[in-house]
Chain A
Amino acid sequence: MTVMSLRLSRKEIDRIKEIATKENKKKGEAARSLLYYGWFFFNLKRYKEGRISLESLAKELDLSVSETIDLLVEYGVPSSISYDDYLEGLETLRQLP
């Protein structure tokens, strides 16, 4: 691991300390777990907003596509497919033999 120094507010430092106490972790570990959760929710939000695809989300979270689908179910992220998309699909369906 490499060392990085950055400025944090008093509140942010208190949060790291609080997590470290609650989870019985060292402050460095607590900060790293916060970074992990930050990265996780940042990407989940991008997916929810329709900014990245499922495959891109899986790649960012280092998960398989199947595990990522399970994750979306677990966190209740709704499908971004609109009613219009569904209707267009119905038109395609009618063309099938």
Chain B
Amino acid sequence: MIVFDSFTLILLAKVELLIRVVEDTEVTITDIVKKECTRKQELLDAKLIKKLIEEGKVKVEHYHVGKEGKKIEKGFNMGTGEVSSLLLARKKGWIFATDDKQALKACKVLRVPFLTAIHFLLRLYEKGIISHELVLAKVKTLEKVGRYNPDIIRSVLKKIMEKGEQK
């Protein structure tokens, strides 16, 4: 099971990979993240996330951040949604999916394993869920929308090429 914050969930929705991710992985969000992601219902990503929740493909759990959460929120300048996801992942021993630097810093301190959107793209390709052509196109889209460091993009492309040669 993987707990997503709104950043990675919306990012994957924007690059049109979220449907494939939820079919491959069990995805959970907190009620606070649900509220953030579906706040502006006119947005395409909000519509998609709402639909996936209604279909039960994205599960929603209530998490009250409490005193510890407020302390993390203040210490790392994070939002309640990010903190609730992080603490839910820690409590359940699950993985936390985030593309936020502050959240990653907190993950390292609290020893919560994490993934970012680009890792899901690699997984979909390695599992043969998406084709070689599509993964290359999605790297370009994710490079633009996710604004990843060029070293990360180079490494991802290298892995894709290596895997492509093996296939």
Interface residues of A (CB under 8 A from B): 50-56, 58-59, 64-67, 69, 72-73, 76-83, 85-86, 88-93, 95-96
Contacts and interface: CB of A to CB of B under 8 A. Distances in A.
Interface of B: 5-7, 10-11, 14, 25, 36-37, 39-40, 43, 45-46, 76-82, 95, 99-105, 108, 113-116, 118-119, 122-123, 144-149, 151-152, 155
B95 A92 contact: yes
A76 B123 CA distance: 27
Contacts, number: 125
A92 B114 contact: yes
B149 A83 contact: yes
Contacts of B79: 53-56, 58-59
A92 B101 CA distance: 17
Given A55-B36, A83-B155, 11 more contacts: A52-B77, A52-B102, A56-B78, A64-B39, A64-B46, A66-B14, A66-B45, A73-B144, A86-B118, A89-B115, A93-B122
Nearest to A59: B79
